[in-house]
Amino acid sequence: MIDFEPPKPIAQQSVALRTVAENMMRPVSRYFDEHEHEVPWDYINFMHMAMRATGAGSLAPRERKEGEEPKKDRPPIGYQSLAFMLETLAWGDVGMYLVTPGGGLGAAAVEAAGTPEQKKKFLARFAAEKPTFGAMAMTEPQAGSDTSAIRTTAVLDKETNEWVLNGEKIFVTAGHKSLELSDGFVVVWATIDPSAGRAGMRSFVVEAGTPGVKVTKLEHKMGIRASDTASIVLQDARVPFENILGSPEVKTETTTGFKGAMATFDATRPLVAATGIGVARATLELLKEMLAQNGVTIRYGLPRQKLTHIEREVIDMEVMLRSAWLLVIKAVWMADNRKHNPLEASMSKVRAGDVVTRITQRAVELMGPLGYSRDYLLEKWFRDAKITDIYEGTGQINRLIVARNILGYSGRELR
């Protein structure tokens, strides 16, 4: 049964993170928005030390061993804890949250598809003395939402027992920090058999310092400007055989590699949704504060027909925000309890993407020139919001996933 009250450890964590958000993120939020690609090392170093002290180095829940049951009176709350954590940090500043040291999508991919030996090897580095980052590279110039169009190749050199990767990846969140600013890695999706379609897809852990791997571009973005988004070229990049996640055997009747990617997203999409909700909550709180300063208070409890238009708008936004958060809580609860959650994961991300975009846009509109002014963060949050609907599966793709799961269609039947 889902408990909507956060467990005591999560509640305590949220109080501490709120302090970080208020004192280390909000005061410099505008600065790092206006100085894109300047790295907020003070925040990064502080969070790295804090996470090392608490054992949260990879920003990923501890993997339970096969057959291991949660201790009595201590239900699994790993993903729930992350959802509350990321919502609070995004409330502080979503761009800066994205530079929090840790494994990110790269660690999530290793968690979803790696062997116990791979998890021990690659995830341990996030507890190292220096801040370390991880990333995942899937999108290519010709392959966005259609992952079957990926052209990056991985060919096994049988003489050296190494995989040779060639291709280009774009829009890699934290790619620069993972490969050039830390001893991190990027999980690169490539095909080991182009003729097999998605069945030939596999992921490879490409470590920092690998010859033939180069960051060629940093994107200039509308929002989340504190976070780097990189293009990466792989030219005869050699990685050890054991860096492949999953089996190297290709069977056309299965899509093991593709399912590994989707398992990653099932775990992380609700967390992306949580960050969008953090931005929406920040926006709604500031909007109500600004309205109050201008003599507008929200009279809760009155019949709807007796409320002003602005009051109805604010209450409707609060309803949207809470409904989106409940979808996130359900999705992460299912992830913690090892329940299949692709429907719930995609639903939570679709709803959060819609809600944060609508709330931030409407806040700017309601405040008029003040909302559009750079004197306040409303316009920044409006710019930050839209990415929630784009990365880790666009709103359109997640709607397809929801429809397929509800209607019982396969990807081939409903595109």
Q: Which residues form the catalytic set?
A: 392
Closest to 288 measured CA to CA, from 315, 265, 264: 315
Angle, CA of 116, 119 and 121, to the nearest 5°: 110
The amino acid occupying position 273 is A
What is the sign of the dihedral through the CA atoms of 258, 264, 266 and 272?
A: negative
For residues 239 and 209, what is the distance between their CA atoms, to the nearest angstrom? 11
Which helix (H) or strand (E) segment holds residue 345: the answer is: helix 342-367
For residues 102 and 97, what is the distance between their CA atoms, to the nearest angstrom? 11
**Distances in whole angstroms, Cα of residue 239 to Cα of each of 111, 299, 375:** 19, 62, 49
For residues 33 and 137, what is the distance between their CA atoms, to the nearest angstrom? 24
Angle, CA of 393, 359 and 39, to the nearest 5°: 60
**Strands (DSSP E) found in 77-212:** 134-137, 153-157, 162-173, 185-191, 201-207
Q: DSSP labels for 303-343?
A: -GGGS-HHHHHHHHHHHHHHHHHHHHHHHHHHHHTT---HH
Query: Helix, strand, coil: what percent of the chain each, to 5?
Result: 55, 15, 30
The torsion region of residue 62 among left (phi > 0), alpha (psi -120 to 50) and beta comes to: beta
